[in-house]
Structures are given as C-alpha cells and as structure tokens.
Amino acid sequence: MKQFEQSELLKSLPKQFFASLVGKVGKVMAQGHDVINLGQGNPDQPTPSHIVETLQKASANPMHHKYSPFRGHQFLKEAVATFYKREYGVDVDPEKEVAILFGGKGGLVEIPQCLLNPGDTVLVPDPGYPDYWSGVELAKAKMEVMPLTAENHFLPVYEEISESAKEQAKLMFLNYPNNPTGAVATAEFFEDTVAFAAKHDICVVHDFAYGAIGFDGKKPISFLQTSGAKETGIEIYTLSKTYNMAGWRVGFAVGNESVVEAINLLQDHMYVSLFGAVQEAAAAALLESQQCVNDLVKRYESRRNTFIQGLREIGWDVTSSAGSFFAWLKVPKGYTSEQFSDLLLEKAHVVVAPGVGFGTYGEGYVRVGLLTDEERMREAVSRIKKLNLF
C-alpha cells in the first residue's frame, strides 16, 4: 500500500518518551508476570455516581443532540464562576473570562498557538509535563527551561533566568501542585511571579490540574488569588483529577480576557464545543456536594502515607509530596533514572516513570503514581525490599 509521507510539522514533534516504557511493561506482562503499575497518571477510581447520573439523564435531552454553542453553554461558564468564587474567593466574569476546553491538555497545547509566532520564547519548567513541549513545537516557538530543584522546593528561581530569555519570553508555564515533583506553590511565589511577568510582559499559564489535591490540612492556592494575576495570565483547570473524569475530556481556562478570547477564537475553527450532556455533568460536578472530592483527597493522602512510610522502613530516604497524586523519589546512587526504573520492572515487576522523561533536571528521580490501593502499594514496597538496594 502507498505510504504518504508525514508533514514536517509531525516529524518535528517531540518523541513520546513514555511510549517506550509502555512497550517494556507490555513485554513483562506478556511473560505472565503480575505487574504493579505505579508509572501512570490515570485516576483509578470511578467518576462519582451523581455526576454519572446527571450525564445519563442529560444525554436523553434532544437539545443536546444538536450542536452545542461554539463557546460552550452559559450554564457551564456560570458554574465555573461559582466554583472559583466558592473555592478561591476569586470573581470571574463567565462571559469574558472563561473558555471551555476539551480537557486541560487541549488548552495547554493550544495556548502557544494562540499567542506566539515562530521563534518566540517560552519559559518551561524542568522537570515538567511533557505536553508543554508539544504545544511549543506546534507553534514553532523555542523553549527556555526553568530548573526545578529540591534546594528551591521545586520552584523556579526567576533571578537565575538569563537576561536575554527574560526579555524574549512571551509565555511561561507553571504547574502547582506539581507534576511530577508533588511540590506546591506559596502565596509569596505567586506574588513574585506576577511581578516578574508584569515587568517582562510575559503571559503566565498556570496548569492547575491537581488544584484539589493538597495534603496535611493545606489546600493548594490558585494563581488567580494573587493580586494582579488576571492582568498577567490564566489558569487551566481540568475535571479529570478532582472528579475522576479523565475520560470525559472537559476542562476550562480562566483569567485574562484577551487570552480567553484567543483560545475561543482558535477553538471556533477546530470544534463545535463539547457534547451538551457532558457540560451538564461538569456543571453538576462543580456545583453539587464536594464530599466526593474530600474523600478522594483523604484516599490519596492515606496512600501517600502508607507508601512513603513503607519505603522509609526499608531504608529508602524519600520525601513526602505536599500535593498532587504523585511521589517524586530520588534513585539510589549508581543508577540513572531509566536504569533504576528498568531494574524495578525487570526484577520486582513494579513500574515507575523515570524522571528524565520529564526533562533534564528530572534525572536522578523516579515518579510514582498513588493510583492503586494500599495493599498493592505495600506489595510494591515488599518487592523492592527484596532487591536489597537500601
């Protein structure tokens, strides 16, 4: 059969690092081994029943069998505004300051195409979510990495960014609670961010995917709670993690109205918004009881505590994450992150994600997802103990 050549654009996209990990895992599973997969970021719990029931009922409504309004239903944008006021004390104009997204990833990949021209500079956290890189490449922009190190609590140090990068940058990605490190931002850090962005005319895109998941009695803060934040950027929120709705593909961008308009304009040319019944279910998630969220956070915190305590008991010197559903673990001396993750897979049949897959500064770490029950996590610790590495 004739093979049509891919475009230069497709050829230029970053290689999917984790595709090779999936292949390795598949081979071990094919050999009949019981594999404990802690390497992914896919929520393991079902969507709360009241959200599912809303979808079931709404899907029978003939109104939703037609095209939705291009920019989403007003009821969902108003639900977003209510959610932000209730959770963060932030006033949001549902008409001008909310863009409905096909999942948070869609917005994160779209935003460079909305605001950048070829050759423009983007500040990107390293380690960070790899799909930031995809959006930058699609816009033919260039990346300047901001190292996230344990010494600075995995927050970028703006003073260390080169003067040329500061002046050339038009966009900056941030993500707290952080994937992959589990770090959280402080109010002071976000204040510094607003001042830095305003001084250098940079649009901040805060990826708030794990916004609901904070531990030890501390609720993660929204970038938009910071004075001047709306002047300098937007926040992207997904329902995937807060409400176990990863497969539903629904999220939103909130904040600076010029950026929201740019997102809406791009999406006008790509989509005709989300299925209306999904929008009704999303509104129910945001507006109805949040007990399901509280229960979920308690579940993740309990898993974190069980896992981290278990690792410390076998002699692995690890730090507890402050938020997200990830643990970021230093690998033993003598191993790269990929060598260590390969060892755990081959000898213990435990899957972790090598830190280098999240950027150069991820080397020396592995990421673990707290996305399986505590019994399986204890079993993973037991298997790792038998390797006598610590």
What's the one-letter identity of residue 387? L
For 137-172, give one letter per residue: b (16+ CB within 10 A) or e: bbbebbbbbbbbeeeeebbbebeebeeebbebbbbb
Domain chopping of the chain, boundaries: 8-46+291-385, 49-287
328: part of which helix (H) or strand (E)? strand 326-330
Would you say residue 17 has pLDDT above 80?
A: no
Q: Residue 390: which pLDDT band, with cuts at 50, 70 and 90?
A: confident
Helices (H), the chain: 8-12, 17-30, 49-58, 74-88, 103-115, 131-138, 163-168, 187-200, 229-232, 239-242, 257-268, 276-287, 291-313, 337-343, 374-385
Q: What is the pLDDT of residues 316-340, one digit of tens each?
A: 999 999 999 999 999 999 999 999 9
Q: Which two tokens stand for residue 16?
A: 């999917």
Q: What is the pLDDT of residue 22?
A: 82
Q: What is the pLDDT of residue 209?
A: 97
Cα of first residue to Cα of last residue in the chain, in angstroms, is: 54
Q: What is the pLDDT of residue 388?
A: 87
Q: Do domains 8-46+291-385 and 49-287 have the same CATH topology?
A: no
Q: Give Cβ neighbours of residue 282 (< 8 Å, ≥ 6 apart).
A: 76, 79, 239, 245, 248, 250
Q: What is the pLDDT of residue 20?
A: 77
Cα separation, 274 vs 73, in Å, equals 9
Q: What is the pLDDT of residues 78-122, one digit of tens each?
A: 999 999 999 999 999 999 999 999 999 999 999 999 999 999 999
Cα separation, 119 vs 139, in Å, equals 9
Q: Residue 15: which pLDDT band, with cuts at 50, 70 and 90?
A: confident
The full 3-state SS of 290-310, as one line of letters, equals CHHHHHHHHHHHHHHHHHHHH
Tell me which DSSP letter residue 173 carries.
E
Estimate the crossing angle of helix 49-58 against helix 276-287, to 10 degrees: 150
For 361-381, give one letter per residue: b (16+ CB within 10 A) or e: bbbbbbbbbbbbeeebbebbb
Q: What is the pLDDT of residue 26?
A: 86
How does the average pLDDT of the chain come out, rounded? Answer: 95
Q: Residue 16: which pLDDT band, with cuts at 50, 70 and 90?
A: confident
DSSP-derived 3-state class of residue 110: helix
Q: What is the pLDDT of residue 86?
A: 97
Q: What is the pLDDT of residue 25?
A: 86
Residue reference for tokens 């298997």: 383
Report the number of secondary-structure helices (H) and strands (E) in the chain: 15, 12
Using CA atoms, how far residue 89 sits from 81, 222, 227, 282, in Å, is: 10, 10, 12, 20
Would you say residue 19 has pLDDT above 80?
A: no
Cα separation, 103 vs 106, in Å, equals 6
- Pairing relation of β-strands 251-255 and 203-207? unpaired
For 279, half-sphere exposure in the C-beta direction (CA atoms, 13 angstrom radius) is 28
> Averaged over 64-68, what is the pLDDT?
93
What's the one-letter identity of residue 235? E
Would you say residue 152 has pLDDT above 90?
A: yes
Cα separation, 104 vs 126, in Å, equals 19
Residues of the chain above pLDDT 70, percent: 100
> Averaged over 191-207, what is the pLDDT?
97
Q: Which two tokens stand for residue 326?
A: 């990830």
Would you say residue 40 has pLDDT above 90?
A: no
Q: Return the CATH fold of 49-287.
A: Aspartate Aminotransferase; domain 2 (3.40.640)
Q: What is the pLDDT of residue 301?
A: 97
Q: Return the CATH fold of 8-46+291-385.
A: Aspartate Aminotransferase, domain 1 (3.90.1150)
Would you say residue 29 has pLDDT above 90?
A: no
Q: Residue 32: which pLDDT band, with cuts at 50, 70 and 90?
A: confident
Would you say residue 3 has pLDDT above 80?
A: yes
Q: What is the pLDDT of residues 165-181, one digit of tens each?
A: 999 999 999 999 999 99
Q: What is the pLDDT of residue 23?
A: 85
Q: Residue 281: which pLDDT band, with cuts at 50, 70 and 90?
A: very high
For 19-34, give one letter per residue: b (16+ CB within 10 A) or e: eebeeebeeeeeeeee
